[in-house]
A = this chain, B = another copy of it.
Amino acid sequence: KMRESVAEVILPGFRFHPTDEELVGFYLRRKIQDKAFPFQVITPLDIYNYDPWELPKLSVCGENAWYFFCLRDHKFRNSLRPNRITKSGFWKATGPDRPISTVETSSCVGLKKTLVFYKGRATKATKTEWVMHEFRLPTIGSSAQGSCEQESWSVCRIFRKRWSPR
């Protein structure tokens, strides 16, 4: 544990273990709507400025997983391909995006992408145990101006594979 959790200062024993649905349905939605939080639980950060092992100490809450709001960076203007390169390597997506459904209505409230961190560059890169779950809200309709505001923020869960979040 790198830093005392904000909630623990208020009430010991409470730990931040959000479900996928809570991450997108409450935290990401509220962030995109620019609504205030009672206190900062998830740090906004350009995570690609850091290697994954530098991230835990930059997170406010989290024990075995660390959470960040990240403004999606685009490699090329008008391109939707995000830049996922860091100092020591890059994040690579594994498989397609999966929908996050609510328990109650089973409607899609968000999309989840799983990425793995590779150390090194391109073909000489080696897979690491660092994993990212990137969540974003589903696109509402279509926009002629490319990505709309809805798509610009994501919330990320960073963890090491030996520990598996629910």
A14 touches B12 (CB 8 A): no
Q: Which residue of B lies closest to A25 (CB)?
A: B12
B13 touches A41 (CB 8 A): yes
Instruction: Provide the bound-state CA to CA distance between A11 and B26, in Å.
Output: 9
Contacts of A16 in B (CB 8 A): 13-14
A residues 6-65 with Cβ under 8 Å of B? 7, 10-19, 22-23, 26-27, 38, 41
A18 touches B13 (CB 8 A): yes
B17 touches A17 (CB 8 A): yes
Instruction: Provide the bound-state CA to CA distance between A38 and B12, in Å.
Output: 11
B7 touches A26 (CB 8 A): no
Instruction: Provide the bound-state CA to CA distance between A10 and B11, in Å.
Output: 12
A22 touches B13 (CB 8 A): yes
B17 touches A11 (CB 8 A): no
Q: Which residue of B lies closest to A38 (CB)?
A: B11
Contacts of A13 in B (CB 8 A): 16-19, 22-23, 26-27, 41
Instruction: Provide the bound-state CA to CA distance between A19 and B15, in Å.
Output: 11
Instruction: Provide the bound-state CA to CA distance between A15 and B102, in Å.
Output: 19
Q: Which residue of B lies closest to A8 (CB)?
A: B22
| Distance in Å: Cβ of A52 to nearest Cβ of chain B | 21
Contacts of A23 in B (CB 8 A): 13
Contacts of A19 in B (CB 8 A): 13
| Distance in Å: Cβ of A25 to nearest Cβ of chain B | 8
Contacts of A26 in B (CB 8 A): 12-13
